[in-house]
Structure 1
């Protein structure tokens, strides 16, 4: 960067406001790109406007007043050589009243619509001018901004950066071939000429937008692949394939692994045998059988004298893992320890001792696993279930429990769309279980308006009296656990009163673990026919006789959550149904979500639709800090560029390391040093 582009030379208040936008240097200003553009390159006469046009009109204020009926409003009339335009302000300041005084010459920009007195603009942009003031020669960019930083100020600072900051290329010219240069692209986006294609600019489909999207995707791929290579340089225990424990467990199971499970296990086993730490994501749809694969991977570590740990985000899911692991591993003579935040002191002390001594070969728990007082004798494999529910730092803390670096297997029942996997998970190896075990019956999904609740109640009663079991899931209300609990308890009381002939249970996140486990065990034994639950049953609950689920206020839930909940039924041979109760009116987003979940049962299709609806930032969640998020590129629109960047990243890292460093510094700055774990 040139001395003239020293960010500290900007006014201190401006620096503070720019930092609110994440801009800390001149390069940040250059890459703060417009949201949209307005055409202020010519003046339109009042007589030439049409309904809905966005135009710039210049004239003199011939009337201005504040009216108070029916509400306070500032009205002014602007006259040019062809007619008058009414300007209407519903919210205004004294400075605006002064700006709109009779006799002032102004240029106004906004959308024209028909009003009582002819054409009018509501809250137009207003600028004072003199007779003959030239119009701007470029389209006017409109930027994301913050309080205290006007569009005019932001444009001034970005113009300063364009004129003073370094705009040289970071990577070899052969990388871009068919795309314009970096400096040319920035100028085309910050200062587009008046004949630029406004629609293409707004859609971010011009060559300049494509160039910068490609630059950003390259930075992300280079960062991810560099992290991948860095981890491969670390040492890890080489765990030879199992010859005793895995064959013993497989022989004891009442089912055979599916082909997809077998392939995933082979990939994991091969990684565990290497002397660098495995970083593998095991993804598969609801009910695809990831847990048994994780158990078999754990046995490979245990057979070689190492410990394995399984961490889950909720106690109810961790408890499900505990009971499955105990049923599979204890017959093999292996001790399984349990660790959670709600344990009593005695049980916790015993578990900590078993973990520290190495007596516990497998440890199952929640966030409690990475607490400071937890010391493993020889942690060789860390398994993280529902990995997206944990933060980067939390997963790192668990890995740091092992010396040398343990292998890590992450599991997700939320299938990850292909483009997301290629970009945000480019530093991981991925195994996919893409087939369900035989015997699973398709789940019929029905959308039912809340006005037909009585029919749903009758359906639930009939199903339970015929020997089936059902879930009734209560909604998450405004992210409030307290309100959710109240709703669950009220629903529980209502269903008990409505179905005196049925045994109804209740489970929610605030119950003590022993209470939750007792309710779930009773439901598993069919001592309860109907289980009222909050979304704590989203993952991990496996009751084959449960064949009916009702989800209240389904319109409030995300696609992933609806798909996870629906996957709690359909685990046995009985025909299963999921009823989505919704309240009208539906927002357009809720309508689209319900349409997707109604029409598809394929987790990958649903995940792709979810990504399209929400975008990658919201889809991945705030917990994924440390991942270079995309600001310019769009994974759906720019998928060809993503493929191109992915193919090129390894070659650039190998052949042009100093250029890669410069490119990452430009695009990621300090974030380039963060390692996604």
Structure 2
């Protein structure tokens, strides 16, 4: 039978039709038979266990009870009309209530008969009831897929429920579809992997993920499908890395010359940490191999990534090549430019900056100087990828906070040289190991896990609204010592939906507490014109203002060593990663620094965990692991755009061991068979070709 049946459009599934298919496409992204099979249950209900009425508690989840219908009444009229059934077992009495499908209930639920009622109980006026329970006549030997043991529960939407596609409706469709396509579900993994990890075949796994007979069958199916999902991601990433090394030759940086030696020995005002030296050595080795370097540098806030990037760019310059650094915002680009030009003078290398606000005359001059090789290092924003920006001989591209750029944006930089330049990407957002393996599995990863000597841990406190005057007093004390303060708000204007402190109200309150002329306040937010933003920034950087009131636009890129206090309003509304980034704006000088997390009195469970974590640790990697558990991978680094994390069943927090097995297997297979030509790997080769054509591994059949 032709396996292409699994790519059949959804509307051809019996019982769906065009209207239902349309809402399934829009609400769940299900387009084909294969998509429907990969819409996995998110939990299961044990239908083998029966409760007695006197065992029900207010905390009971979904339960099933065997009882007799004692009475059935229609109560109310029109909108309040409902059917109430008195249901009894040997231990007590409860109510079953229906507000919809009343005609069917009235005709099919018969007084005096014994039924199995299934649903979630509620306690009202001392009596337990179940609204809209599932009802089946009690049989001593019931039959029917999914109802004997673990019943699958599927994600649905309100719109789908209007088409009778709630969890029960989806269960029925998938059961019918499985009966239809079972012969067409072919294996995706070679037998040696199934044997090595004791994995069931794909056909059995898909049956048991939807309709397991017992917990062990379900566990085996989940493990198999998680391994498959993660394995194909790793195989694709590692194969891509291998092919890129074969396809893209790289320029050789064989010389450590006058520029880097002079900078290191005469100019660099601090000693590099051992971690920085290790990463520079890794970059040095990469750039001598004759293939394009693709390396990610992870480093916590203040770990010295910029110094490593600068020395890498000087290495390129020493070998006769230009380098560029692209940052996601103008503020960050200008901060990099200021930091680098403070260290480097024109007699060492020529440095320029190009951003969206660069004037036309400046742009023309920069374009000319780039093409004739007069600029050694160009720093900028998205403006660097414009077609008009052409280099004489670009040898190294540094991309900061790279997750903020799309793949196409990054690749435009790579194409600005005949021989692809070496790529160094940096992130100040510590990434959990599992996420780095999945997102950046095709990159070599360096970690700067050591802070420069003399950097003191930032003291973090959590204060509630009732302690605000104490916070203002602390700010005054720090300002009196000559320090400066950041105050960050999550919103610019008042929101009707969110009861948050907002920047405009905050400025009013701060202006009252810190009146002119004794205090000066700068204001920065994303809706300001760049010129105004830069002016306000400079006022604060130069020490002319005492307080910087801002939104999260200052999350990255602001370096003011004299700022010793970071106040974050409504801190419970921020993600852990963002809180950690904001905290990293202080603690950059020799003085003891503080981060004050202000919140309301009512905190969600997650909000409480975030704030407690911030108070407890300054370790960005520990924070990132907790953030991954709380928020999931997509939110941490904005990786939804990458498409690499569209995971159907695997979980990067709980499935770390499976991910490691999958990666190790992919590495071993490619080491032994780099072009996948062995008989046992031909199946994998075929799947990779499908992936290259843009077919998700979840659509591989």
- Normalising by structure 1, we get a TM-score of 0.88
Say yes or no: does 1:142 pair with 2:148.
no
What is the alpha-carbon distance in structure 1 between the residues aligned to residue 697 and residue 170 of structure 2?
29
Q: Using the alignment, how far apart are the partners of 2:422 and 2:500 within structure 1?
A: 39
| RMSD value, Cα | 3.3
Within 1, Cα distance between the matches of 2:590 and 2:172? Answer: 68
Deviation at 1:667, TM superposition (A): 8.8
SS in 1 for 2:502: helix
The alignment partner of 1:176 has SS state of helix
Aligned residue number for residue 563 of structure 1: 580
Q: How does 1:581-620 map to 2 (within 5 A)?
A: 581-620=598-637
Partner of 1:171: 189
Determine the C-alpha separation between the residues in 1 that align with 2:142 and 2:24: 30
Match of 1:447 in 2: 462
Structural mapping, 1:631-650, within 5 Å: 631-650=648-667
- Indicate yes or no: 2:74 matched with 1:50: no
User: In 1, distance between residues paired with 2:261 and 2:569?
Assistant: 44
Aligned 8 A contact 2:492 2:504 in 1: no
Distance in 2, Cα, partners of 1:673 & 1:392: 20
1:73 Cα offset (Å): 5.8
C-alpha change, 1:73 and 1:596, in structure 2 (3 Å) is: farther
3-state DSSP of counterpart to 2:486: strand
Q: Which residue of 2 aligns with 1:423?
A: 438
The corresponding residue for 1:225 is 238
Aligned to 2:414: 399
Q: Does 2:200 align with 1:181? A: yes
Indicate the residue corresponding to 2:682 in structure 1.
Answer: 658
The aligned counterpart of 2:547 is 530
Contact 2:639–2:645 at 8 Å: present in 1 too?
no
Which of 262, 266, 288 is residue 248 of structure 1 equivalent to?
Answer: 262
- Find out whether 1:159 has 2:166 as its counterpart: no
- Residue 19 of structure 1 corresponds to 25
468, 473, 477: which one aligns with 1:462: 477
Which stretch of the first structure deviates more once superposed, 418-427 or 164-173? 164-173
**1:60, distance to aligned residue in structure 2 (A):** 5.4
Q: What is the CA distance between 1:596 and its match in structure 2?
A: 0.5
Distance in structure 2 (CA, Å) of the matches to 1:184 and 1:628: 25
**What is the rounded CA distance, in whole Å, between the counterparts of 1:582 and 1:486 in structure 2?**
10
Determine if the alignment matches structure 1 residue 384 to structure 2 residue 399: yes
Residues in 1 aligned to 2:645 and 2:204: alpha-carbon distance in whole angstroms? 25
SS of the aligned residue for 2:610 comes to helix
In 1, Cα distance between equivalents of 2:227 and 2:443: 21
- The structural deviation recorded for 1:46 is 6.8
How far is 1:452 from its partner?
Answer: 1.3
Deviation at 1:112, TM superposition (A): 3.3
CA gap 1:575/1:84 in 2 versus in 1, 3 angstroms: closer
Q: Distance in 2 between matches of 1:34 and 1:393?
A: 35
Q: Alpha-carbon deviations, 1:316-341, whole Å to 9, x = none? A: 11110111222333343432222212
Query: Could you tell me the TM-score, scaled by structure 2's length?
Result: 0.86
Structure 1 window deviating more from structure 2 (483-492 vs 464-473): it is: 483-492
Q: Which moved more, 1:209-218 or 1:353-362?
A: 353-362
Once the two structures are superposed, what CA deviation does each residue of 1:257-316 show, in whole Å capped at 9, x if it has no partner? 111111111111221223222111111111111111111111122222322111111111
What residue ranges of structure 1 are gaps of 5+ in the alignment? none
Is the counterpart of residue 110 in structure 1 residue 119 in structure 2? Answer: yes
Contact 1:170 1:662 in 2 (8 A): no
1:260 aligns with 2:271: no
Does the 8 A contact of 1:447 with 1:598 survive in 2?
yes
Query: Are 1:297 and 2:297 matched, yes or no?
Result: no
Deviation, structure 1 residue 410: 0.7
Aligned pairs (5 A) from 1:281-292: 281-292=296-307
Number of equivalenced pairs: 660
Distance in 2 of aligned mates of 1:484 and 1:386: 31
Q: Residue 212 of structure 1 is aligned with which of 225, 237, 244?
A: 225
Aligned partner of residue 611 in structure 2, secondary structure:
helix
Specify every segment of 5 or more residues in structure 2 that has no aligned partner in the other structure, as ranges.
none
Secondary structure of 2:171's match?
helix
Seen in structure 2, the aligned counterparts of structure 1 residues 649 and 301 have a Cα distance that, compared at 3 Å, is same
2:123 matches 1:98: no
Q: Output the CA distance in 2 between the equivalents of 1:86 and 1:540.
A: 62
- CA offsets 1:68-118 (integer angstroms, 9 cap, x no match): 79x9362421557868642234xx44xx12122266357642023555585
Q: Quick check: 449-458 or 324-333, which moved more? A: 324-333
Preserved contact between residue 491 and residue 503 of structure 2 (Cα < 8 Å): no
Which stretch shifts more, 253-262 or 5-14? 5-14
Does the CA contact (< 8 Å) of 2:296 and 2:425 recur in 1?
yes
* Contact 1:62/1:102 (<8 A) preserved: no
Q: CA deviation at 1:599?
A: 0.2
| 1:100 counterpart SS class | helix
SS at match of 2:236: helix
Which residue of structure 1 aligns with residue 339 of structure 2? 324
- CA deviations on 1:636-668 (whole Å, 9 max, x unpaired) are 322222222111102323534422234557999
CA shift, 1:497, in A, is 3.4
How far does the alpha carbon of each residue in 1:190-209 deviate from its partner, in whole angstroms, 9 at most, with x for none?
2212xx23xx78xx7x2221
Alpha-carbon separation, structure 1, partners of 2:540 and 2:51: 75
8 Å Cα contact 1:506-1:531 kept in structure 2:
yes
**Aligned residue among 38, 60, 65 for 2:45:** 38
Contact 1:46 1:80 in 2 (8 A): no
Distance 1:303 1:600 in 2: 41
Choose which of 82, 85, 96 in structure 2 pairs with 1:77.
85
